[in-house]
Amino acid sequence: MNLRQCEVFRVLMEAGTVTAAAALLHVSQPAVSKTLGQLERELGFRAFLRERRRLIPTPEAQALHHEVRRAFVSLDYLTRFAQDLKGLRQGRLVLAASHAASSGWLPGLVATFLRRWPGLSISLQTMDSPRVAEAVASGHVDLGIAQFEVRVNEVRRERLASVEAVCVMPPNHPLHQRRVIRPADLHDQPFIALASVNRLRTKLDGLLEARNVRPRTHIDTPLASTACALVMEGVGLAILDRVSAEDNRHRRIVIRPFLPRIAEDLTLVSPLGRPQSAVAEAFAAALREEFATPADRGKLPVR
């Protein structure tokens, strides 16, 4: 039996005549009769008795009809499921992101995305940027968001934004009156450093060493949110990426541009040679839109 024969059989059982079945199937009566004959030969028993123009189903046909109806219910479910996948009413995204993104701006974007597509689900995993790229390359996650350059060949890299460093301080700090903070301003200042694996810290350390500037580093942390909390506790100044600093404005921190400019790329990481799901493509589009706004993610004014 094939699917077409099952469909004709089901309609014949429900319509009762070849004429009515042909009308419902939008085919000719001979076509229905031919398919019915092929079906009965495949089955090895008669499905209907012909009584004038009506078809009387045999007990075997009635038993078969019960199973055919169940099969078509499953087929209808599969059809609806496929339509839901196409329309983003079903689906799951596994997303990996750096610590700064996961603890800062990304949850807001994820929440907005899920409000738009409430039938979807997202698994958000936090790891450092090299592991983000490795997870995408290995197929363990669908998309990744890395805070700086990644050196994994099996992935596609797309720059979302170039994020410069800024200086973060409490409102009562003597430097808050400066419009711009420069390396010399950090000399002998109590300082909160980012973790040693952070590329922004590496660039800053090189810049300060070249200018013989030595802040008094009391603590280091991988999280921008922790650094901002420590700033407000009076532990010291911090140099962070602008996006993470902006996401912590609610802590009443003061943000000042830092010159000379040092920056790192915020990168969307996707797999090479592996097709993306509709959910992954939609989320990637939402990311691009987030970082393509005229406001440039809250561009810092120079006061």
Could you tell me where in the chain the CATH 3.40.190.10 domains are found?
Answer: 92-160+266-290
Band of pLDDT at residue 190, cut at 50, 70 and 90: very high
pLDDT digits (tens, 9 = 90+) for 259-284: 999 988 888 999 888 888 888 888 99
CATH class of the 161-264 domain in this structure: alpha beta
Report DSSP letters for 31-64, one per residue. HHHHHHHHHHHHHTS-SEEEETTEEEE-HHHHHH
Query: What is the pLDDT at residue 303?
Result: 30
Q: Could you give the residue range(s) of every CATH 1.10.10.10 domain in the chain?
A: 3-86
Residues of the chain with CATH 3.40.190.290: 161-264
**CATH assignment of 3-86, among 1.10.3720.10, 1.10.10.10, 3.40.50.1000, 3.40.50.720:** 1.10.10.10
pLDDT value at residue 298: 42
Closest CA to 286 of 162, 139, 138, 120: 120
**What's the confidence (pLDDT) of residue 301?**
35
- Confidence grade of residue 96 (pLDDT, cut at 50, 70, 90): very high
The string of DSSP codes covering 116-173 is HSTT-EEEEEE--HHHHHHHHHHTS-SEEEESS----TTEEEEEEEEEEEEEEE-TT-
What mean pLDDT do residues 143-158 have? 80
Q: How confident is the model at residue 80 (pLDDT cuts 50, 70, 90)?
A: low
Predicted local distance difference test score (pLDDT) of residue 205: 93
CATH number (3.40.190.10, 3.40.50.300, 3.30.465.10, 3.30.360.30) of 92-160+266-290 reads 3.40.190.10
Full-model pTM? 0.61
pLDDT at 293: 60
